Amino acid sequence: MIAKIGDIYVVYEERLQQYAACQVIRIKEQASSRHKVLAAVLELDWHSDQLPTEVELQHIKPLVCNYYFWNDRWDYSFVDANVPKHYRLVGNIPPLIEAECNSYASWRTGGSLYRQLQWEAIPAELRARFKAAAGSDEQVNIAGFPAKLSTSTIRQGALEQLEDWSELHKLPCLTAIHTSHPYKPELIDYLRDTPFITELSLDDPRATELDFTGTSLNRLILKADDVESLTLPKGLSQLSLVGTVSEKLRIYAEHDGKELLLMVDKQATSHYGLSQLGALNIRGVADIDLAELAGQFPHLHELRIWGAPGYAANMGKIVKLIGLHTFTTYDLFGFTGEEFPLPDTLPQLSMLWLDSLPADAAKTIKARYKKAAASGLDLSVTKPRKPEWMAENLTNPFRDWDGREHITSTNAKKAMNLYKKMLGELGALEKQAASGMNAAEVHAALAALVTDFTATLNKMDSRSGFIETIEREEIYEVLHDLLKNTKLNLAESGIKVDLDKLIDIFDAERDF
């Protein structure tokens, strides 16, 4: 179904256990057929157990958002004009607002309404204190660290000397904490006493049993290596488990995870007690058996997989996920187009994005899903990879550059060769160090390698300026990982390497 101006759609918002609504206020036709038609969608101030009546539609209003840092604003963004299958058209009336739209998102009706209702449930005096501090430049002292009164996110650098979590009450606008401090009752007491903290990242919990009931967390990020029991608060929508997850882990969540997005690294070896899990993202996959996964998580409506790159077995078994409406993969191989499910076997599918996959599979899937795409499926099948590309690039950290719109295939190949060259030269240097090369010589050689590496990238970028923010960050990560590995190997020869100094050379020499 393609959205039209004035259309009003409703969708069931699981967290509200009610329907929420939106209206299409604008259609944006793209200049090129390669780009999708977009619809500007406005969130509406309506929710109910029943579909709206005609009378209700005539009196429906835009949602005015004033939660947290929003100040009486409407929430509207451009989305793909293909309407997801689980949305229902209930009417068409003239657009409720006329406004320019400069933001882009995905279909997410009900999210702002949920946050607004959560905000309104907070005592008025606390909300007033939050708003009063939001625009302030006043400084406060947090365990010896100066912080703005309006601070919304605090990280470990500001928490090094913190001993009393209640000190954070000095920050009325604080909504997110990222810390290496361990899980302790004092932290939980603070969270339960502070309705504004919606995000917590614990790098090192140092506990086997964690209980977050009574907090207002919406997003929780944990290094979960040793965690065996994890109790989630009501309303948590996203849980990210970083690193290796313990086989003993059991997660206790509202409705057994029906409204939860779980993010894990490499694989999900168990359902961890989340027998009704609704959404799953798996990062850095090497091998994955989709028959096993479908058996563990039969109620998934969203499944996203990022390969390391990775190989998928039993791709056809995703048909067992009868409620699946979003399926995306990146750098995932090992399957054929014939094995991939036919469109009519995935009746709820609204989004199918396959990025970097076997070329033969890409060709077959595109052909089979062409009719479904014409009927409204959000289909994207990009970066088909031939066997020779796979053989050459599976260990290439710059492989994603091949196929990016603003990067030529020549520069993508040069980046791959530069990586291989740097890897080989660092390996040769490590061997020389093991044979008696002194520390000063090693340091000089490393500095020269980093300088040459950066100079090559400067030259590549000088003509077209293709290295933008994302590419710069990727280059940094590749160089950092190469040098970190060399640092560890050289330590075995008794040579210490100052990684920060080498990165400083990169920063000083780069022109991008």
Contact, 234 vs 210, CB < 8 A? Answer: no
Q: Which residues contact 313 (CB under 8 A, 6 or more apart)?
A: 287, 288, 289, 290, 291, 334
Q: State which of 339, 374, 397 marks the end of a domain.
A: 397
One domain for residues 222 and 267: yes
pLDDT score of 27 more than 80: yes
Token pair, residue 25, equals: 């206020």
Quick one: pLDDT at residue 179? 96
pLDDT score of 30 more than 80: no
Report how many domains make up the chain.
Answer: 3
One domain for residues 297 and 379: yes
429 belongs to a structural domain: yes
One domain for residues 266 and 371: yes
The pLDDT of 350-370, averaged and rounded, is 96
Convert the pLDDT of each residue in 482-493 to its tens digit.
999 999 999 998
One domain for residues 427 and 331: no
Contact, 107 vs 41, CB < 8 A? Answer: yes
- Give whole-number Cα distances, 242 to 4, 226, 263, in Å: 42, 11, 8
Quick one: pLDDT at residue 237? 94
Q: Are strands 7-13 and 18-28 parallel, antiparallel or unpaired?
A: antiparallel
140 belongs to a structural domain: no
DSSP E strand boundaries for 15-154: 18-28, 38-48, 64-65, 73-74, 76-80, 88-92, 139-142, 145-148, 153-154
One domain for residues 374 and 467: no
The pLDDT of 363-385, averaged and rounded, is 93
Contact, 84 vs 379, CB < 8 A? Answer: no
Return the minimum-mean-pLDDT range out of 31-35, 176-180, 292-296.
31-35
Quick one: pLDDT at residue 31? 61
Return mean pLDDT, the chain.
94
- Distance, in Å, from the CA atom of 217 to the CA atom of 388, rounded to the nearest integer, reads 47
Quick one: pLDDT at residue 59? 96
415 belongs to a structural domain: yes
The pLDDT of 212-229, averaged and rounded, is 95
Q: Are strands 38-48 and 64-65 parallel, antiparallel or unpaired?
A: unpaired
The phi and psi torsions of 259 (rounded to 5 degrees) equal -100, 15
- Distance, in Å, from the CA atom of 497 to the CA atom of 444, rounded to the nearest integer, reads 11
Highest mean pLDDT among 29-33, 126-130, 222-226, 395-399: 126-130
The pLDDT of 69-93, averaged and rounded, is 94
Strand partners of residue 145 = 142
CA torsion through residues 109, 305, 222, 396, sign = negative
Quick one: pLDDT at residue 415? 96
Q: Which residues contact 101 (CB under 8 A, 6 or more apart)?
A: 25, 26, 28, 40, 76, 77, 78
Q: Is the pTM of this model over 0.85?
A: no
Query: CB count, 10 Å around CB of 17?
Result: 11
| 489: DSSP letter | H
Phi-psi region of 369 (alpha: psi -120 to 50; beta: other; left: phi over 0): alpha
- Give whole-number Cα distances, 498 to 328, 412, 487, 488, in Å: 40, 30, 8, 11
Q: State which of 376, 397, 418 marks the end of a domain.
A: 397
204 belongs to a structural domain: yes
Quick one: pLDDT at residue 341? 97
pLDDT score of 258 more than 80: yes
pLDDT score of 410 more than 90: yes
Token pair, residue 239, equals: 């849980």
Quick one: pLDDT at residue 162? 93
Contact, 457 vs 496, CB < 8 A? Answer: no
One domain for residues 358 and 380: yes
Quick one: pLDDT at residue 32? 61
The pLDDT of 1-29, averaged and rounded, is 95
Contact, 447 vs 476, CB < 8 A? Answer: no
One domain for residues 332 and 431: no
One domain for residues 389 and 416: no
Quick one: pLDDT at residue 297? 96
Q: What DSSP string runs through 323-350?
A: T--EEEEEEEES--TTTSPPGGGSTT--
499 belongs to a structural domain: yes
The helix (run of H) or strand (run of E) holding residue 311 is strand 302-313
Token pair, residue 483, equals: 């040098």
Contact, 401 vs 412, CB < 8 A? Answer: yes
**What's the N-to-C CA distance of the chain in angstroms?**
44
Domain that holds residue 333: 157-167+184-397
Contact, 44 vs 10, CB < 8 A? Answer: no
- Write the CATH number for 201: 3.80.10
Quick one: pLDDT at residue 302? 97
Q: What DSSP string runs through 368-435?
A: HTHHHHHTT-EEEEEEEE-HHHHHHHTT-TTGGGTT-TTS-HHHHHHHHHHHHHHHHHHHHHHHHHHT
One domain for residues 106 and 223: no
One domain for residues 218 and 264: yes
254 belongs to a structural domain: yes
The pLDDT of 325-330, averaged and rounded, is 96
Convert the pLDDT of each residue in 136-167 to its tens digit.
999 999 999 999 999 999 999 899 999 999 99
The phi and psi torsions of 309 (rounded to 5 degrees) equal -75, 170
pLDDT score of 270 more than 90: no
Token pair, residue 445, equals: 């050689």
One domain for residues 330 and 388: yes
Q: State which of 366, 397, 428 marks the end of a domain.
A: 397
One domain for residues 265 and 386: yes
